[in-house]
Structure 1
Amino acid sequence: MREGQRRILVVEDELTIAESVAARLRAEGFEVEIANDGPSAVERAVSSAPDLIVLDLMLPGFDGLEVCRRVQAHRPVPVLMLTARDDETDLLVGLAVGADDYMTKPFSIRELAARVHALLRRVDRNGHQPDTIRIVLGDLEIDPVERRVHRAGEQAHLTPTEFDLLVHLAGRPRAVIPRERLLTEVWGWSDSSGTRTVDSHIKALRRKLGADLIRTVHGVGYALEVPR
């Protein structure tokens, strides 16, 4: 691996898809490894310490959700999850166990590569330019340095993307932020093809922090309400 080159682990049991994704990512300048089942995915993730994992949900051995749980327990790493089913429950569970983003099959290889780049840029940005100001809004407390969130004294365990989204909304309490703007400023995407990603993360935040915290403005976006 060249100095500074990022390593991507592609976990996919359909060989044609795995090779297509790997070929595109290698063309984009990444070093790529492939795993075809759950156990080997965890083994490679632990041994090679990838910078990002492209992870299929349905795998032999054990599924992508279990892979994600085990990998995140060992070392936090950005995960882009792939699923053949457009099932909201599966997507929310995936986000809950540590996935940062997801794509539903069939997908564009070009778009996948763009999302990988965007996710890595966001990780770099948040890692090198931390906001040191603690945010306190009613009973909601956000510590950007330690990346911890408490509501009413209880700690909420958020994924990296959930945390970034919450901080973004909390930076302008009560202001309605359009989905497209959230995609650009939190995810780093330049188009609106992933607005459902925003919706899924908002639902995960509500489940963890309370349904009253984030207000939906239908057809526009979301606003963080100041809790009492």
Structure 2
Amino acid sequence: MTRVLVVEDDPQLVRALVINMQARAYEVDTAPDGTTALGLAAERRPDVILLDLGLPDMDGVEVIRDVRRWARFPIIVLSARRGSQEMIVALDAGADDYITKPFSMDELLARLRAAVRRTGSAPHLGEREAVTTADFTVDLVARKAVRGDRDVRLTPTEWHLLEFLISNPGRLITQRQLLEEVWGLTYSNKTNYLRVYMAQLRRKLESDPSHPRYLITEPGMGYRFEP
């Protein structure tokens, strides 16, 4: 059973989320502030976190950064902050999705299901179990990346994006293809998501992120993995 941690200080919204998720057989824990959320995340190990950014004791971005130091489970931001910069900061900190308030419960549940699918997605490379470059190795069975002698921490969304690209070495993957594969049909025009996540992957894997060797941008078209 999928366990969800709801981090939100609005009691009415928390109640609505709990009722709707429990009705669909999710296990739900709740936290009204960031400190409680971090404790529950470490103790309960949820499959997904739904996180408000405007918490009473700390900014939600701090919660994202703290969790990302030790865990990869998906984090979906629920926020009244509508500016693109706020979204980029949250995604850059390690969030997997960003939903602005108010939102429909059907949309939220669809995003939740997509996040769970991304976490459990299987490798696409058939018999190939690993991809090795001069700078890093991606182990598709263990679902981890190694750069030098250190493991690279990737969020589920970062992993899904990387996995799809390396599944098609040398092939141009359009922005639309990547968005629909990783985030779903409703994200086909969210190109800013790709910019943020490709920048994240390059910082984590490329020796010179500003001049990438492996994760190549084809301006106005898409991206490709060059082995």
**TM-score bracket relative to the smaller structure:** 0.7 to 0.9
Please identify, of 114-123 and 174-183, the stretch whose mean Cα deviation from structure 2 is larger.
174-183
Task: Give the aligned CA root-mean-square deviation in angstroms.
Answer: 3.1
> Aligned in 2, Cα 1:49/1:158: closer, same or farther, shift over 3 Å?
closer
Could you tell me how far 1:155 is from its partner in structure 2? 6.3
> Aligned in 2, Cα 1:140/1:44: closer, same or farther, shift over 3 Å?
closer
Residue 214 of structure 1 aligns to which amino acid in structure 2? I
1:147 corresponds to 2:144: yes
TM-score, length-scaled by structure 1: 0.78
Partner of 2:107: 111
Residue 56 of structure 1 aligns to which amino acid in structure 2? D
Which aligned pairs between 1:3-82 and structure 2 lie closer than 5 A?
5-73=1-69, 75-82=71-78
1:191 corresponds to 2:186: yes
Residues 4-55 of structure 1 show CA distances to partners (whole Å, capped at 9, x for unaligned) of x222111112233333333322232212222111112122223333221101
Note if contact 1:56-1:64 (Cα within 8 Å) is conserved in structure 2.
yes
Flag structure 2 segments of 5+ consecutive residues without an equivalent: none
TM-score, length-scaled by structure 2: 0.78
> Aligned in 2, Cα 1:125/1:173: closer, same or farther, shift over 3 Å?
closer
Could you tell me how far 1:165 is from its partner in structure 2? 0.9
> Aligned in 2, Cα 1:62/1:132: closer, same or farther, shift over 3 Å?
farther
Could you tell me how far 1:178 is from its partner in structure 2? 2.5
Please identify, of 112-121 and 16-25, the stretch whose mean Cα deviation from structure 2 is larger.
16-25
Flag structure 1 segments of 5+ consecutive residues without an equivalent: none
1:123 corresponds to 2:119: yes
How many residue pairs get matched?
218
Please identify, of 45-54 and 82-91, the stretch whose mean Cα deviation from structure 2 is larger.
82-91
Which aligned pairs between 1:154-169 and structure 2 lie closer than 5 A?
156-169=152-165
